[in-house]
Structure 1
Amino acid sequence: MFENSEIDHLLNFVGYGDKNADTWFLGMEEGGGGEDNLRARMGFSQFEDNYEAHKKLGILKFHEGKRTIQRTWRGMSVLSLMLDDKPFGTEAVRQHQAELLGRAGSNTLLCELMPLPKASIGSWGYEELIPQFDSRESYYKTVMPGRITLLQALYAEHRPNVVVAYGKAFWSSYKQVFRDVTFTQDDGFEIGRTEQGVIVLCGHFTARTMNGKLPGLAAKIKAYM
C-alpha cells in the first residue's frame, strides 16, 4: 500500500521530455501500470528523460538494441519529422523515437492529463495498492481538477508553439485545460489558435481513423501557425 506522501509524488509527475519544448503531446494516461511500475516511478522527477525513465522501469526495447518502434510514439515521431520537413521513413522514425522523442533538452514533451498508468482506460485495479481511491471514478473525480490546474499553469509559463492532444474520447477533458481557446472543426480535427501557436485535438495515434491523416494534420498545423 502506498502512503499519502508517495501518492502525492506519483500524482506530481507530468511527462517525458523538456518543459520548454516547442511541441507538446498530451494524452489521457499511460498504459501499463502495476505495483513494480509504480514503485519504480517513485524515482521519477516531475519531468523525466524518456530513455532514462524507461531504464528505471526496466523497459529498454524502445531505446536500446534493435529499438522497437512503439505504436503511439510512432505517430508522434512521424508528425514531428513532418513538421520539421524531414524524411519520415521507418529508420528515421526509429532514430527519432529513440534519440529525440521525449528526451531531456529535446523539442518535445510527452505529457498526460492523468498521472497514473493503468492497464486500460476503463480499469482501475489499484484498490489494494491505493485505497485512497476506491475506484477509477473516485480517482478521476479527485485528481483531475488539480491536474487541469497544473497543466494550465505549465502551459501559461512555458508557452509551447504546438500542443497535440490525442484521443477523441477525451477531447472534452482536454478542452478544460484550454478553456479560453475557441476550437474550430477542420477535417476530423478540432483546432484552436492561441497567441503563441496552435492546439490540435486529434484521434489517438493508433486509431484506425488516423490512418493516412498525419500529412494533412502536419499541413494544418503549419497553416495555423
Structure 2
Amino acid sequence: MATKEFEILMNYLGWGDPNAVLWTVGVEEAGMWCSDEKREDLSQIRKRIREFNSPIIPMEEVEEEPKFPIAHPIAKIACGISKSCKNWKEEWRKYRKSKLWRKGSKICNINLYPLGKKSLKSSFPNCYKEIFGIDWKDYDIAVKEQRFKKIFNFFREKQPQAVICYGKSHWNDFIEVFQLQNKKAEEHSDKLTILYPEEKIILTRHFSNGFRNDICQFIIEKLKEWKVNLP
C-alpha cells in the first residue's frame, strides 16, 4: 500500500518558479532517496520528504549554483531568451549561478517520474518498498494514471508560454501527458527535435548527454519566434 511519503512526492512536480513562463520537463529525478549499499535513517528521509509541500519549490538564494549536467543547457536556453542577457554563449554560467530556478526566474523544471534511481533502466532499491510501499509495476501504473493528469492539470492552470520536454526515450510519455496525439508536429531530425507550434511545446533529446550548442541555438530561435521571453 502506497505511503504518505509516496503521495507527497506524487504531488511534488519539480523545482523553480511556480509562475514560470517556460517549463522544462524531464523523465525522472536524478537523486535517490536511499540506497541498499549503505545504512540510512529512514525516519530522517521521511522527515525530509514531508518538507515537499508544494507542486513547485524555488531554489533558495543561499544554495550553491546547480551542479548537475541538465542545468547547463537549460541555463543556456533560458539565458538566450532572457531580456536581461545579450549573449547566451558568454553569459549562461552567470545566469545559472544567479537566476536559474530562483524566485522570479520565470522558469521551472518538472519530471514525469518522481522517484530517482541509479539510471532509467535500473530497478527500485529494496529500501523504496519500505519508504513508499509500492513496487515498480504499481509505481509505473500510478504515475501514468495519476501524476500525468496532475502535470497536465497544473499545465492548464498555470499556462506557461512554452514547454521543452527532454529525453527521447520518453517522447511518447510527453505526448500522452500534454495530449499531443492528434496535434500538428514539425520534425527536425537534424536537431533531434519535434515542434508543436500551436501548443508551443518542444520535444528534444536529453540535456545531460552532450547537448549540442546548435540544438540550443535552434530552440532559442524557436522560443523567440514564439515570443517567449524571460525577465
Q: TM-score, normalised by structure 2?
A: 0.79
How much has 1:144 moved relative to structure 2? 2.2
Question: 1: distance between equivalents of 2:70 and 2:3?
Answer: 32
Give the aligned residue type for 1:172.
Answer: N
What corresponds to 2:6 in structure 1? Answer: 7
* DSSP 3-state at the match of 2:156: helix
Give the direction of change, closer, same or farther, for the CA distance of 1:201–1:7 in structure 2 (3 Å limit): same
Which residue among 67, 74, 78 is the counterpart of 2:76?
A: 78
CA contact (8 A) 1:68 1:94 kept: no
Q: Distance in 1 between matches of 2:224 and 2:105?
A: 20
Q: CA distance change for structure 1 residues 211 and 84 in 2, over 3 Å: closer, same or farther?
A: closer
Aligned equivalent of 1:128: 127
Which of 1 and 2 has higher RCO (CA within 8 Å, sep 6+)? 2
Q: Distance between the aligned counterparts of 2:68 and 2:8, measured in 1?
A: 27
Deviates more, 1:92-101 or 1:36-45: 36-45
Corresponding position of 1:50: 59
Distance of 1:216 and 1:108 partners within structure 2? 19
Report the TM-score when normalising by structure 1: 0.81
Question: Where does the alignment leave 5 or more consecutive residues of structure 1 unmatched?
Answer: 56-62
Which residue is equivalent to 1:165? 165
SS at match of 1:128: helix
1: CA distance, partners of 2:5 / 2:32: 15
Match of 2:206 in 1: 204
Q: SS of the residue aligned with 1:191?
A: strand
Checking the alignment, whether the CA contact within 8 Å between 2:76 and 2:88 is kept in structure 1 is yes
Contact 1:32–1:120, Cα closer than 8 Å, also in 2: no
Corresponding residue of 2:175: 175
Distance 1:204 1:3, change over 3 A: closer
Distance 2:22 2:164 in 1: 8
Q: Point out where structure 2 has 5 or more consecutive residues left out of the alignment.
A: 35-39
Separation in 1, partners of 2:201, 2:144: 20
The yes-or-no answer on 1:41 pairing with 2:49 is yes
CA deviation profile, 1:11-40 (whole Å, cap 9, x unmatched):
211111122210001001111213369542
Work out which of the residue numbers 213, 216, 221 in structure 2 matches 1:214: 216
CA displacement 1:42-86 (0-9 Å, x = unmatched): 21222211237xx8xxxxxxx43xx46432111000001112262
Q: Secondary structure at the match of 2:128?
A: coil
1:84-135: CA deviations, max 9, x gaps?
A: 2622246x32332232212223210111111122221112334333253222
